[in-house]
Structure 1
Amino acid sequence: MSLITRIKILAITIFSTVFFSYKLISNNFYKKEKFNEWQSLKWNHFKGVSRPFSKYSAGILCEIKLEFDSSKKPNYSAKAIQNQTLSWVNWSDITSTNSSYILEHEQYHFNITEIFARKLNEQLSQQKTISRKDVLQLLMNYNIEHNKEQQKYDNETKHSLLRSQQMYWQYKIDSILSYQEVSL
């Protein structure tokens, strides 16, 4: 290959890398994160960069957020939040027939997070006084259990492909949200 051809290939490669990197960075990495508290999801809550080579149609990032208020007892409260900036959808995989079903599966990921936020709030309310260090340790422990439950949900439903398991999990999660004394 001649030197000129190599230079052209190198220039095209560098330009392509810079162009696609800029596109990714401007879409997600420097975007101000936007959060939703627990609610019914809509597709416009998924603002992250889609995963073009993913075998999944969508992904949600939801987590437990701690808030501190010195005027309340307990001082700490937990909330389920969804990170819109890191939640994504591959629109090429979404059809009019599967759209609501896939969104519903993602909603139940968010609902699982709400269950763990409620459980953490229950434990925090039972504490007369608790240090910041102990609260963070509790949060870490709940996050570990929360992540295990999210994995179990996806594994048992095969990421919603097993409709009977999906219906079972929906019933289970709805029951827990309705009757907090029922445990996972």
Structure 2
Amino acid sequence: MKWIFAACFLITNMLFGQKIYWDEGRKLTWNDFKSNINRKGGDNVVAYTNCGWIYSYEKSSDPKAPVKIKVETVFNIDKSWKDVKRINDYVLLHEQKHFDVAEVFARKLRKEISEKIRTSSDFDKYFKGIYNRILKEYQDFQRAYDGETKNGMVEEKQSEYNRIIAEELENYKSYKTP
């Protein structure tokens, strides 16, 4: 049976929030940053990327029935902000990498789901724990990325992270969405 929650969540997001779904052939542009509100605060913030994942699932009340779980990486247009007086291509690359990091961890989540969750019973036992652990790793990585690069201003660290993120996308390429 399909869960109404997942359907309502997706419909609500479609109606009230504009999203870009991660696609390796589609890079962010400054036109994608539509919020007028600096959600991070501080004078040193040039832009803010609001991104993450959405998931939906289909499961049965039969604990042995197969379960389908879909995880998608999204960029929230209406929650992403830029200071139009200070933006440039270098800052945009830093923001793109935030979105790419979200995709890396979505792939890690898809990998764990594919390895550990096959049935409705598995979903009930394991999904929340897997999701919360990967989410914490994702949040920690995003904080370290901004901290070590000083929001992209330390070029050497930014280059290092660009390489790490590209390698991780490649390492988990079999878990990208078709």
TM-score (norm 2): 0.74
Q: CA deviation at 1:175?
A: 1.1
**Residues 125/32 of structure 1: CA separation in 2 closer, same or farther (3 Å cut):** same
Structure 1: stretches of 5+ with no match in the other structure: 1-30
CA distance in 2, matches of 1:140, 1:149: 14
Task: Please give the root-mean-square deviation of Cα atoms over the aligned residues, in Å.
Answer: 2.4
- Give the counterpart of 1:33 among 6, 11, 17: 17
Look at both structures and tell me which one has the larger radius of gyration over its CA atoms. 1
2:115 matches 1:114: no
Q: Percent identity?
A: 27
Q: CA deviation at 1:144?
A: 1.1
Q: CA deviation at 1:54?
A: 3.4
2:156 matches 1:164: yes
Q: CA deviation at 1:153?
A: 0.3
The residue aligned with 2:3 is none
Aligned length in residues: 147
Structure 2 residue identity aligned to 1:44: N
CA distance in 2, matches of 1:133, 1:34: 33
3-state DSSP of counterpart to 1:65: strand
In the alignment, is the contact (CA less than 8 A) between 1:68 and 1:77 conserved in 2?
Answer: yes
Q: CA deviation at 1:137?
A: 2.9
Structure 2: stretches of 5+ with no match in the other structure: 1-14, 61-65, 174-178
2:113 matches 1:124: yes
2:54 matches 1:65: yes
2:32 matches 1:48: no
In the alignment, is the contact (CA less than 8 A) between 1:74 and 1:125 conserved in 2?
Answer: no
In the alignment, is the contact (CA less than 8 A) between 1:50 and 1:90 conserved in 2?
Answer: no
Q: CA deviation at 1:78?
A: 1.5
CA distance in 1, matches of 2:29, 2:49: 12
After the TM superposition, list the runs of 4 or more consecutive aligned residues in structure 1 that deviate by more than 4 angstroms. none
CA distance in 2, matches of 1:148, 1:74: 29
The residue aligned with 1:18 is none
- Give the counterpart of 1:104 among 72, 75, 93: 93
